[in-house]
Structure formats: structure tokens, C-alpha cells
Amino acid sequence: MSDTQQGNTPEGDDLPQPEVRRSKMGVSLIWLVPIIAALVGISLLVNHYISAGPQIEVTFQTGEGIEIGKTQVKYKNVVIGKVTSMRLSKDRTHVRVVIDLEKNASEFATKGTRYWVVRPRIGAGGVSGFDTLLSGAFIGADTGTSEEDQSDFTGLETPPAVTHGAPGRRFELHTGDLGSLDIGSPVYFRRIQVGRIVSYELDKDGKGVSLQLFVDGPNDRFVTKDSRFWNASGVDVSLGADGLKLNTQSLATVVAGGVAFSDPLGPHDESPAPEMSSYTLFGDQATALAPPDGNPRYMRMRFEHSLRGLNVDAPVELLGVKVGKVVSVNLDYDPEKHSFPVVVGVLVYPQRLGKAHDKLAQVLGGDPETLFPRIMKGLVDHGLRAQARTGNLLTGQLYIAMDVDPKAAKVEFNPNGKPLEVPTVPGDFDHLQEQLSGIVDKISKIPFDSIGKNLDGSLHELHGTLHQVNTELMPEAKKTLQGVNRTVGTANDALSENSPLQQNIANTLEELQRTVRSVRAFTDYLGRHPEALLRGRGADAPPPATAPSSPKQGKEGQP
């Protein structure tokens, strides 16, 4: 290249002259490119700054399942932020998770917002957060009501049972112990789940548990002021004096536990209960729906005989109405009689007498405190006695029955006694024993020995008779039968097709046939030649003259 250039050097003057056109302006537009680039860059920066939402910090017990830069924060399954960093708290008991919320989710950085980690949880109530099995854990969020800004949150360890703004109402239950209930345990109304337990805590005095439950709208209107709540947990199997009872709310409650509620039967206040109304949680449905019992009264009974089968909680019935239950069964010692009477303590709910109680109260009047002892005194004077009766023959369970026996011997009753002592009579079990012993006596009087002897003699006779039949009668009978058999055989032979008798008969019949034919021929002959009788048989006539012809011709010959 350089060679040609060098070669051309001398002829430089002969080169064509470039044209010159003055048309272009000399401003370099190229700088627009970096300016635009800068503008784009700046706008990106500004955009990023503007779209960045607030940053918050949430503390959790554990960072399990949380991944920096990946774990999302979701509200109603919409992503509202992302975990950007995670570190241990200074005292190393917690994990501090830094979350960058999106711009439009700034209302989640306010007081009252709740955060929790949604991981797959397998509980008695089923599997929750199933989708997280595949996608990994995420952080759930729920808004609060407050407008006040907050950037530091304490995360919940379990997902909240109720999300903010969900229709429904909260109620409070009081119970002795939690049983198998837990947060999230279902609340049933007519066996349909209408709510769940949202929290529980020990009462301040430690003597009970307060539960909070949430009933979803619109079913919360079924919780009335008179509603009764009972523990529907597990299978309620009770083997009592009134037999075997099995009751369960639903299969789920057997595993997970639950609470059911219902209105009591009969007239009651049907107005919906206000929020946070307080109720008692009964142990079972029967107790819950029973009419209110009022104050129980303690009474005592002494039985002089064994009370095997009488358990604590056995029913106490007055004239067949269940009015209370047994609370204690204890042995006592009577030094005079050297006996061990059984002392039974019972609780009686006077209000379960219902109208009877009200009317007695009216009649007797006076101080309501001493009303019950006075009622009892009146009843005892009229012959009220307690008795341990068998409620269930199968299990031998006993219950206490108080019945009026007008013929009962008079007994002193102290209405001021503490506790009241109800006179007793031996239970019907003792009667049963008496009856049984009577039956045993009667049975023992039956002369089994002589019956046996007589029966034995009769059997002997029968045996002899049968022997006779076998040895004497049977061979004779056998011979007879053989004779009969032979006879029948002979008859058979005689009648069989090839027997001589049959042959003879056949020959005879043939002979007879021939005879008959001869007779007919003879009579025919006589018919034609009657003179033969007189002249004897003439010479034979010549055979007929008709020419023999084929059957064909014969046929054709006939028209």
C-alpha cells in the first residue's frame, strides 16, 4: 500500500480536487447519546427510589424456611414485599428479618399489622399451607386498624386464626381445663363448623382457663344470650347406671377436639349475644343443655350392705327424676354392731324438681335457706327412703333412688343436721337376693334322685323291649321278606318276554288266528257254494282269464 502511495507522490497535482458544499452545521449531535443515557439512568434511579416502599423488621423465633432475597411477603396471596436480609438479634434468642415492602403496601408498616411465617403445618386439624411444600415458606401479613407507623414487628409463631376484618364475633368461654382444645379447634353449631378457637389463657388466679372463640358471620347470630357451650372433643363413652352411651360431634373432633354450642330447649332468650359475651364451657352436651341447676345441696346416706357397683357420679333420682349425683362412697365403722356401713355423699339440685319445688316453696314459705331441709323433712315423714338400685343388670351399676314408701317405719329426721342424713332401706338388690334364695330353696326341694331312679328303670325296660325286637322279631321279618322277594322274582321270570309262558301264549294266539282264517275261508266258500254242504266240494274253477298287464297299462286304460 505504502509502495503505491509512494509511487503516486510526484503526481499529487493531477489529483481531482474535492468539491466543497457548505450545507451542514457544525454542531456535534453525538453528545445527545450520553445525555439520553444519563437521563435514562437517572430516571431509573428516581423510579427505583420512588417505587421503594418502607423497610420493616420482624422478629421470629426461628428463621426456618426463610431465604434472603427469595422469601416473599404475601397478603391475601398477593406479594407485597420481599425479605432482603436476616440476622440474629443481639441476645441471639430471635431472628430479625428485614423486609422491603412495596410502595403500594406502605399501609402494612403500621401498628397492629401482624406477620407470621407460613410453613406447611401438619396438625390434628389437617395440613395447612400445603402450597408452601412446593414453593417454600412465605411470610403472611394481616393488616391492622391503626394508622400509626411502625417499622419493628414481632412475628407470630402460629398463623392467626382470624384475619382482620373477617365478619363474625368473638366470645369468651370459661372452663376448668383446656382438654384437647387448641387454637384453631373448630366450633360447631348443629354439627356444622361455624368458627374456631382463637386463643386461650390461664385465668389470673390459675383456677381455670379462658378461651376465646370466633364465630364467623353470618352464623354468629346463632349465638344467643342463652346459648350453651360444651366440649365436643373426643368420643364421649360413658358406661353408667343408665347404660352405655356413645356420643361424638364429628370424626374430626375425635382427633382435634372442638366446641359445640346450641340453644337450650324450651323458652329462652333468643336475642343475639353481644361481642365478647362470656359463657361456661360444659363437659358434655347433656350437662350443657340441662336446665339450670341452682345451688346443689349435700346429703348423706348410710347403707348397711355392700354397694358394689355404686360409683361416684352415679345418678340420684327422686321419684324417677334425676335430681343429683353421687359425690362420694366411703366406708364407716360401727363399733357397736361391728359392721362397716357405707356412707354415700350425694349432691342434690333442688331446682331440678321444677314446679314441685316452686309449689313446695310457696306452701312452706319461710326462709329460703332452710327451705330444702324442711322439704326433705316433710318428704321423709311421708316415707321417703333412699335405696341403692340396680340400674343396669348387665353391668351391675347401681344408682340411688329416693322413693316414698308410705308403709316405711317412722324414722327420726333432723332438718338442722349438717349434712342432712336421708334414711335408707335395703336396696332392691337385697330383695333380688331373697328371691333368688327362695328359688334356690324350691329347686333344692325337687326330688332329683327319685326322678332319676324312675327314669333309669323306664329306660331299662325300653332297652329290653328293643333288644327283643332286635333279636326275635327282626330275623322272622327278614325271612318273610326273602320269601316275598323270591315270589316276585318268579312272577317276573314268568312274565318276561322270552319266558316259555309268553312263547306259549304267542303260539296259541297264532294257532287261533290260523283257525279263524280257515273258518272265514270256509264260510266264504259256503257263501258262494252253499251246495257244497250237500254235494261236497266241486272241482276247482280255472284261474281268471284276464291277461296279466303292467300296472302302467292298467292305469292308462282307466280314463
Among 65, 112, 120, 136, binds other proteins (CB under 8 A): 136
CB of 170 to other proteins, least distance (A): 38
Q: Is the separation of the CB atoms in 204 and 195 below 8 Å?
A: no
Binding of residue 31 to other proteins (CB under 8 A): yes
Q: Does 28 contact other proteins by CB under 8 A?
A: yes
44 binds other proteins (CB under 8 A): yes
Of the candidates 188, 352, 212, which has an alpha carbon nearest to the alpha carbon of residue 262? 188
CA separation, residue 114 to residues 58, 146, 147 (Å)? 9, 12, 14
Asked if residue 125 lies in contact with residue 185, where contact means CB atoms within 8 angstroms, the answer is: yes
- Tell me the per-residue interface mask from 191 to 230 with other proteins, x by CB under 8 A, - otherwise: ----------------------------------------
50 binds other proteins (CB under 8 A): no
Q: Which x/- pattern over 93-132 shows residues binding other proteins (rule: CB under 8 A)?
A: ----------------------------------------
Q: Rounded CA gap, 324 and 402, in Å?
A: 11
Give me the least distance between CB of 79 and other proteins, in Å please.
11
Helices (H), 390-499: 428-445, 448-468, 474-495
Q: Pick from 36, 192, 244, 312 the residue near other proteins by CB under 8 A.
A: 36
Of residues 11 and 367, the one with the C-beta less far from other proteins: 11
CA dihedral 220, 221, 225, 231 (to 10 degrees): -40
- Interface with other proteins includes 523 (CB under 8 A)? no
Q: How many positions of this chain bind other proteins (CB under 8 A)?
A: 33
Site string for other proteins, 55-74 (x = CB under 8 A): ---------------x----
Amino acid at 143: T
**Residue 285 to residues 192, 225, 373: CA-CA distances in angstroms?**
16, 17, 31
Decide if residue 33 touches other proteins (CB under 8 A).
Answer: yes
Closest to other proteins by CB, 70 vs 308, is 70
Q: Which of 34, 217, 365, 489 binds other proteins (CB under 8 A)?
A: 34
Among residues 86, 144, 136, 87, the alpha carbon closest in space to that of 115 is found at 144
Hunting for cell 360444659 — which residue is that? Answer: 282
CB 476 within 8 A of CB 484: no
- If one counts every other C-beta atom within 10 angstroms of the C-beta of residue 56, the result is 23
Nearest to residue 56, comparing CAs of 117, 114, 118, 135? 114
Q: How far is the CB of 10 from other proteins (least distance, A)?
A: 9
- Dihedral sign for Cα atoms in the order 553, 554, 558, 559: negative
Write the CB contacts of 320 (distance below 8 Å, at least 6 apart in sequence).
401
What DSSP designation does 312 have? Answer: T
DSSP letter, residue 339:
B
CB 55, min distance to other proteins, A: 18
* Per-residue binding letters, 2-21, with other proteins (x by CB under 8 A): x--xx-xx--xx-xxxxxxx
Which helix H or strand E contains 527, and what residues bound it?
helix 500-528
| Shorter beta-carbon distance to other proteins: residue 69 or 554 | 69
Judged by CB under 8 A, which stretch of 30-38, 148-156, 237-245, 252-260 contacts other proteins? 30-38
| From 51, 135, 154, 503, residue interacting with other proteins (rule: CB under 8 A) | 135
**Which of 33, 545 has the CB closer to other proteins?**
33
The yes or no reply on residue 78 touching other proteins (CB under 8 A) is: no
Q: Give the single-character DSSP code of 408.
A: S
Distance CA 85, CA 316 (A): 68
- Please state the closest distance from residue 24 (CB atom) to other proteins, in A: 7
User: C-alpha angle with apex 443: 438 to 447, nearest 5 degrees?
Assistant: 140
For the CB of residue 42, give the shortest distance to other proteins in the complex, in Å: 9
Contacting other proteins (CB under 8 A), which of 77, 91, 134, 338? 134
Residues that bind other proteins (CB under 8 A): 2, 5-6, 8-9, 12-13, 15-24, 26, 28, 30-31, 33-34, 36-38, 40-41, 44, 70, 134-136
